[in-house]
Amino acid sequence: MKKEKIFFTPGPTELYPEVRKYIEEALDSNICSLNHRSSEFMEIFRHTADMLKKLMNIPDNYKVFFLSSATECMDRIVQNCVESQSFHFVNGAFAERFYRTALELNKNASKADADFGKSFDFGNISIDNSPELICITQNETSTGVAIDTGEIYKIKKSYPDSIIAADIVTSAPFVEIDFDRLDCAFFSVQKGFGLPAGLGVLLLNQKCIDKAEQLKKNNISIGSYHNFLSLNENAVKYQTTETPNVLAIYLLGRVCKSLSDYGIQRIRKETEDKAKVLYDFFDNHEFLKPFVSDKKDRSKTIINVEAGNRQNEIRKKLADNGIIAGSGYGKYKESQIRLANFPMHKPEDVMRITEILK
């Protein structure tokens, strides 16, 4: 009998358990054939936005935009919020991507660097000239470092005129955010929401819309169909600028409702408990060690483990027992394993990992 596979990869990851049923229901209801200007689609958009806001306690005045990916979200944020200057906290490959995006869009981007696997000494970082946009990767997917949200709020307080953008790609919906203390955040659905890839979600407030309007008045390009003004003009009608991934938006709404019914505080507690099991195990392992040494900087949702030249051996041993682990990222691709810890990952399967590797 073929052994069941459980994906602990950082994303795409294990599907949320109910997704198969939701897909079947969508097909039976002909969801995929709906016109994106139809009342049926508008109700799907409205339901998904409402369920997402309920699950993550997002204020009603926040806009919900559906894009193709988190990487596209980076593009749109820079295009619509920066005429000249942006500032980036860079401590991993995806924070670097945000910074490089600004450079490629011909913005005057500057950055503060931290070694991969470490956070920042925020007290000793000065940001010159109050940049229009300050970008921070709250949970760095490539390294497993999480930034305390309190540090983000301090930045917002120190630079009230800047737009503060947070990458929460691998921490949503686990991370608890006070959205009144930043201006925009984004994620993609193939990680903590356990959905097939192909949908990015951008959350932003009116300050971001106002900035886009100002740039357009100044004849600065803010993009075409996916500029904030066009996206917002359609979103207020629960529509999108062009035919979107209707199935993905529908599935996200269903999963958000299911997670909300289960209880976000319960999810957060379970995530922390599972993370503790894994970190305690690897802290005491003979040769497999957490990449992030400072416990306060460790992500609860992405656990990076140093495996050295035994990485292939470790991943094979896990795979032979039905556990699919991710490889490291970038320069750590061959020397680390990454284990996701999302709502669909069961405590008993986390315990299986420790049993296999002990």
Which residues does 155 contact at the CB level (< 8 Å), separation at least 6? 122, 127, 134, 136, 164
Domain, as residue range, for 301: 263-357
Query: Confidence class of residue 20 from pLDDT cuts 50, 70 and 90?
Result: very high
Q: How buried is residue 215: exposed, middle or buried, by Cβ count under 10 Å (0-12/13-18/19+)?
A: buried
| 247 and 340 share one domain | no
Query: Confidence class of residue 7 from pLDDT cuts 50, 70 and 90?
Result: very high
| 31 and 146 share one domain | yes
Give the separation between CA 8 and CA 286, rounded to whole angstroms: 22
Q: What is the pLDDT of residues 38-52, one digit of tens each?
A: 999 999 999 999 999
| 133 and 39 share one domain | yes
Which CATH number belongs to the domain containing residue 285 in this structure?
3.90.1150.10
**Percentage of the chain with pLDDT > 70?**
99
Give the separation between CA 60 and CA 40, rounded to whole angstroms: 22
Q: What is the pLDDT of residues 176-209, one digit of tens each?
A: 999 999 999 999 999 999 999 999 999 999 999 9
Q: What is the pLDDT of residues 336-345, one digit of tens each?
A: 999 999 999 9
**Percentage of the chain with pLDDT > 90?**
97
Which residues does 160 contact at the CB level (< 8 Å), separation at least 6? none
Using an 8 Å Cβ cutoff, are 41 and 246 in contact? yes
Q: What is the pLDDT of residues 215-273, one digit of tens each?
A: 999 999 999 989 999 999 999 999 999 999 999 999 999 999 999 999 999 999 999 99
Q: Beta-strand (E) ranges in 72-179?
A: 85-90, 108-113, 133-137, 139-140, 145-146, 163-167
Q: What is the mean pLDDT of the segment spanning 325-344?
A: 97
pLDDT for 229 equals: 98
Whether residue 6 lies inside any domain: the answer is no
Q: Which of 260, 281, 304 is the last residue of a domain?
A: 260
Q: Beta-strand (E) ranges in the chain?
A: 6-7, 63-67, 85-90, 108-113, 133-137, 139-140, 145-146, 163-167, 184-188, 200-204, 289-290, 302-306, 323-324, 326-327, 336-340
Q: What is the mean pLDDT of the segment spanning 274-302?
A: 98
Whether residue 269 lies inside any domain: the answer is yes
| 250 and 268 share one domain | no
| 239 and 272 share one domain | no
Checking if the pLDDT of 97 tops 70, the result is yes
Q: What is the mean pLDDT of the segment spanning 10-35?
A: 96
pLDDT for 3 equals: 56
* Threshold 0.85, pTM exceeds: yes
Whether residue 126 lies inside any domain: the answer is yes
User: Nearest-5° angle of CA 282, CA 288, CA 290?
Assistant: 55
Checking if the pLDDT of 2 tops 80, the result is no
Q: Which of 202, 236, 260 is the last residue of a domain?
A: 260
Whether residue 8 lies inside any domain: the answer is no
| 245 and 346 share one domain | no
Give the separation between CA 154 and CA 148, rounded to whole angstroms: 10
Amino acid at 242: E
pLDDT for 225 equals: 86
HSE-CB of 18 using CA atoms within 13 angstroms: 16
If one counts every other C-beta atom within 10 angstroms of the C-beta of residue 83, the result is: 15
Give the separation between CA 174 and CA 165, rounded to whole angstroms: 18
